[in-house]
């Protein structure tokens, strides 16, 4: 369980960094970074 939690935490941090790099365009529904962030955030559940 700990490894899964750490992997999910790293995935979310990396996806958040990608959104910051992409700027405002990264938040659109067509952006890959936006999808990755949503998937990483859903990994908690």
Q: Mean pLDDT, to the nearest integer, of 7-30?
A: 85
* pLDDT given at position 23: 82
Q: Which H, E and C letters describe the chain, residue by residue?
A: CHHHHHHHHHHHHHHHHHHHHHHHHHHCCCCHHHHHHHHHHHCCC
* pLDDT given at position 19: 86
Residue pLDDT, tens place only, 33-42? 888 888 888 8
Q: Sketch the domain layout of the chain as residue ranges.
A: 1-42
Quote the pTM value: 0.73
């Amino acid at each position: 369980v700990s490894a899964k939690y750490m992997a999910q935490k790293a995935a979310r941090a990396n996806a958040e960094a990608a959104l910051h790099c992409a700027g405002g365009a990264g938040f659109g529904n067509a952006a890959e970074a936006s999808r990755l962030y949503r998937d990483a955030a859903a990994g908690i559940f």
